[in-house]
Every structure is written in C-alpha cells, then in structure tokens.
C-alpha cells in the first residue's frame, strides 16, 4: 500500500487537501489513480460542461434504460416529496417527541428521518411486513455501509428481504393502480418505463430510499454536531438555516462527483476514458474563494454573496433532482430538534468516516427541555420498533 493511500485511510480530507496543495496544476492524481479537480472554478466548469456530462447519470447504474427515464423517475419522486412536506413535518413532530434524552448518532438521525418519512415512503395501507422490513433496513446497515464484514452480511440479508417484499407490492399495485401516487413507491412505479420487471422497480425504490434518508439523516447529524461543538449557547446564536448551509459546505456528504473524461477537455491532462473527479469538499474549502474555509462559521451566510462556489448537491445537468426538498427536510429536522430544547454532545469528531460519503463518527446527543433543570430532568420515552408481524 502506498504512503498516500495509508494517509488517505487515516484521514481522507486532510489527505486530499495535501494532494491538492502539492499539485503543480489544476488537477492531481488520487491515490487509486483517478484524476481530481483541485481548482474550484474549474470544478464548476467541469460539472456544467455539456461534453463531460453527456450521456446518463451514474447514480441509477443500469436500472433505467435512458436519460429521459432517469429524469422522469427523479422528478416524480422529487415532486411527491415536495408536495408531502406537511406530512413529513407531522411525522417529524411525533418522532422528535419520542427521541430519548440521550441518543446515539448518526444512527439516531437516520432513524429519526425514516420515522418522519415512513408513511411517505410506503403508505399506511402497505402490508405491515413490508413496512417492518423498511424499518429494519433503515436501522440495519442498509443505508450506510457498516464497517465490519458481519454487519455488511446482515445488511445484505435485510436488503434482500426488503426487495422481496417491495417486489410483491409492485406486482399488487400494478394490478390495482392508484389514481394518484400515495408514496415514493407509487411515484417510482408510475414513472418507470412500461415492461420493467417488478424486481427492478424494487431495486429503484431501494436506491431512492437510501438516497433520500441517508444524506438527510447524516446532514442533520453533522449540523447538530458541528453547531454544538462550536458553541455552548442555547439556543444557538445562528438561525438554523445558516447552520444547515454551513454544515453542507463544511462536510458535504456527496464529497466526490465522478465523471468519465472526454478527449481534449481544455488544458486538463486527462485521456479519454479516464475518470475525472470533482470534489465539492475541495471547492468549499478553496482559500482563494472562501474566507477562513476550514472554520465552521454559520454567520458567513448572513450575506447572500461574499462566499465561494456552493456545490453540496452538485451542479449542471446532474444536479441532484431532490436538492430543494432535501434542504427543506434537513432544516426542518434540525429546527425541530432545537425547538424548546438545550442540545449538547459528548464524543464526536469533525473527521468523517468514509462510508459512501462523509458520515459523522459516533457521538451522543443530549437533548433536554429548556424548562427542566439539571436536578429534575425528564427522560423522554425511547423510540420503539414496529411490532413484527
């Protein structure tokens, strides 16, 4: 193993910044051989270049046959989530009320978001067994890649059970189609090309389930952790929206965007077919375009300008379709956690774990009602898993 790869595994963000500062040009080699854009302006140009971003999004893999099909599915799910934000808020209130006074994060954040979205993902008329499988998947390592082999094996079992149950639902719903989408599965099924196999639709649903709940839950965790580590005040001295925006800048879960390089892309020394990566993290920490980029400073969002490129959801043709509703869900969840409560953390580390994105290391969130003093605290009831059928 090379020195650079060992450094990357110990502390990936420090390693990639070291490579950028050492590079002689605007791009540099990553330890595994791909190219990465180190210049923030060039990063924006790459993400918006029609030649670089020709073809299909890699997000869906081989599940959909064409770019129009990818767009149709993405927009259908985005529009449903956007329309059902009031339902999410209702579910969120109940989920936050049931949060333990001391909870283990980031798992608790992912579970919280899933509970708030449970009826939106699979409506209450869905068989209990399938909804239970979804809940087990959310807590069993399906959404965030676990660190240990036995955990990953268990997650695969849970994922298989979820796919089997959802595929059965797809067949039933095709036989009795709803006039309007009742949940994410209906939205996916309605937007898929005709003739797609039930199992493939289930795979698409599972992919979007992961793409919605995991980034929202992890960004909520980053927002709470970073805010609590940088102030002991309660309430926080910044609006929640600033905290969320700064968390998305400081620790964007989608920290690397990968595209195949075309031949002759400007002055970039990349051959056709090689991988050209753009790192929103590096763009968000470019000292030429951001003041004090390594500091967590929510107050930088007090003004609409005066900051550098902001790419937590990508840019250009492949900007995340759900960027706008995701920001609403994250901000609403953080606001609900902070409302009438004093938040503190123990443990925690600003260095992320690399697990298909920048995931916070484990920490404990202590949430206390403001009116309760240290000698007379009330502990909220623990969240309970749905009864197994």
Interval 150-174: pLDDT, tens = 999 999 999 999 999 999 999 999 9
Task: Report, as an integer, the average pLDDT of 5-9.
Answer: 81
Q: Is pLDDT at 348 greater than 50 in this prediction? A: yes
Task: Report, as an integer, the average pLDDT of 317-329.
Answer: 90
- Looking at residue 377, its pLDDT comes to 42
Give residue 384's pLDDT band: very low, low, confident or very high (50, 70, 90). Answer: very low
Give residue 199's pLDDT band: very low, low, confident or very high (50, 70, 90). Answer: very high
Task: Report, as an integer, the average pLDDT of 105-128.
Answer: 96
- Looking at residue 381, its pLDDT comes to 37
Q: Pick 328 or 275 by higher pLDDT.
A: 328
Q: Is pLDDT at 373 greater than 60 in this prediction? A: no
Residue 158 and residue 137: Cα distance in Å, rounded?
A: 6
Q: Which residues, 6+ apart, have CB-to-CB distance to 187 below 8 Å?
A: 76, 77, 79, 80, 181
- Looking at residue 266, its pLDDT comes to 64
Q: Are 94 and 84 in contact (CB under 8 A)?
A: no
Q: Which domains, and CATH codes, for the chain?
A: 3-369 (1.10.630.10)
Q: What is the pLDDT of residues 209-252, one digit of tens each?
A: 999 999 999 999 999 999 999 998 878 999 999 999 999 999 99
- Looking at residue 264, its pLDDT comes to 59
Q: Are 71 and 191 in contact (CB under 8 A)?
A: no
Q: Which of 43-47, 163-167, 200-204, 383-387 has the lowest mean pLDDT?
A: 383-387
Residue 290 and residue 307: Cα distance in Å, rounded?
A: 5
> Residue 64, exposed/middle/buried by CB under 10 A (0-12, 13-18, 19+)?
buried
Task: Report, as an integer, the average pLDDT of 180-200.
Answer: 96
Q: Is pLDDT at 176 greater than 60 in this prediction? A: yes
């Amino acid at each position: 193993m090379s020195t650079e790869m060992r450094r990357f595994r110990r502390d990936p963000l420090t390693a990639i910044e070291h490579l950028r500062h050492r590079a002689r040009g605007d791009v540099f080699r990553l330890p595994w051989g791909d190219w990465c854009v180190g210049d923030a302006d060039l990063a924006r140009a790459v993400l918006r270049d029609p030649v670089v971003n020709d073809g299909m999004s890699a997000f869906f893999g081989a599940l959909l046959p064409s770019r129009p099909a990818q767009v149709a599915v993405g927009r259908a799910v985005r529009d449903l989530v956007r329309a059902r934000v009031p339902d999410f808020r209702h579910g969120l209130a109940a989920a936050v009320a049931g949060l333990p006074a001391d909870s283990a994060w980031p798992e608790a954040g992912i579970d919280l978001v899933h509970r708030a979205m449970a009826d939106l993902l699979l409506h209450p008329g869905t068989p209990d067994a399938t909804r239970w499988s979804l809940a087990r998947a959310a807590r069993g390592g399906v959404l965030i890649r676990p660190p240990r082999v036995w955990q990953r094996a268990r997650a695969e079992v849970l994922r298989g059970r979820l796919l089997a149950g959802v595929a059965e639902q797809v067949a039933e719903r095709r036989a009795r189609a709803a006039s309007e989408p009742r949940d994410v599965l209906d939205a996916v099924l309605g937007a898929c090309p005709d003739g797609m196999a039930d199992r493939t639709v289930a795979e698409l649903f599972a992919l979007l389930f992961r793409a919605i709940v995991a980034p929202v839950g992890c960004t909520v965790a980053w927002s709470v952790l970073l805010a609590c580590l940088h102030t002991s005040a309660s309430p926080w001295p910044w609006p929640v929206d600033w905290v969320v925006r700064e968390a998305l800048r400081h620790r964007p879960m989608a920290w690397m965007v990968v595209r195949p390089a075309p031949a002759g892309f400007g002055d970039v020394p990349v051959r056709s077919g090689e991988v050209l990566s753009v790192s929103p993290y590096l763009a968000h920490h470019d000292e030429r375009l951001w003041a004090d980029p390594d500091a967590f400073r929510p107050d930088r969002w007090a003004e609409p300008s005066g900051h550098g490129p902001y790419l937590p959801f990508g840019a250009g043709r492949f900007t995340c379709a759900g960027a706008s509703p995701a920001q609403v869900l994250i901000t609403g969840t953080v606001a609900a956690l902070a409302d009438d409560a004093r938040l503190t953390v123990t443990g925690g580390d600003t260095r992320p774990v690399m697990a298909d994105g920048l995931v916070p290391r484990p920490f404990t969130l202590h949430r206390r009602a403001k009116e309760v003093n240290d000698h007379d605290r009330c502990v909220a009831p623990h969240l309970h898993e749905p009864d197994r059928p």
